[in-house]
Structure 1
Amino acid sequence: MTMSKAVVTVVGKDKPGIIAGVANTLADHNINILDVSQTIMSDIFTMSMLINLEELEGQFNVLQDDLNKLGADLGVTIHTQREEIFDAMSRV
């Protein structure tokens, strides 16, 4: 069986609480973070995460909705995409 994964990207003006907010939301859905990369360019925060969806509690679209709401609350854009779709789009 293949591990079900997704890629989460976050972009926006840097401020305290972005990483904590995303990590806590993922934990609320029983999701493990497999890898993370983040940087700040001037005052723009960027982060990419690879997450494991195998233990996801609830549906993927509920996770996306929760992360989108968090992004709106934090003033950042959060995009969540299943790895197989991300890979397919990268090949186009």
Structure 2
Amino acid sequence: MKAIITVLGKDQVGIIAGVSSLLAKWNVNVLDISQTILQENFTMVMLADLENCSLSFTELTEKLSALGAEMDIAIRMQREDIFNAMHKI
């Protein structure tokens, strides 16, 4: 399964490293990544392959959310098929 991970918050050192490290720890492969700084705000969207993830989707979502709370940023994950269905015109 593939998922879209979004990260939003005030720019700070270590955001990409923190999210990437957590994903690598649970064997999640990052397929694509886009990030930018809008004034003082960090934004990132990742496409991730959860095929070999050693956690359930819910468990990984909770770990990402906890990391976001730790770093004072918002991290959300959504299944790619649901994301695509929501953004279809």
TM-score (structure 2 length as normaliser) = 0.96
Distance 1:38 1:90 in 2: 20
CA RMSD in angstroms, aligned pairs only: 0.9
- % identical aligned pairs: 49
Q: Which residue of 2 aligns with 1:70?
A: 67
What CA deviation, in whole Å up to 9, does each residue of 1:34-86 have, x standing for no partner? 00000001110000000001101120100000000000011110010010110
**Residue 5 of structure 2 corresponds to residue 8 of structure 1:** yes
Segments ≥4 residues shifted beyond 3 Å: none
Q: Which residue of 2 aligns with 1:22?
A: 19
1:74-89 mapped onto 2 (5 Å cutoff): 74-89=71-86
Name stretches of at least 5 consecutive residues in structure 2 with no aligned partner. none
- Aligned residue for 2:87, secondary structure, equals helix
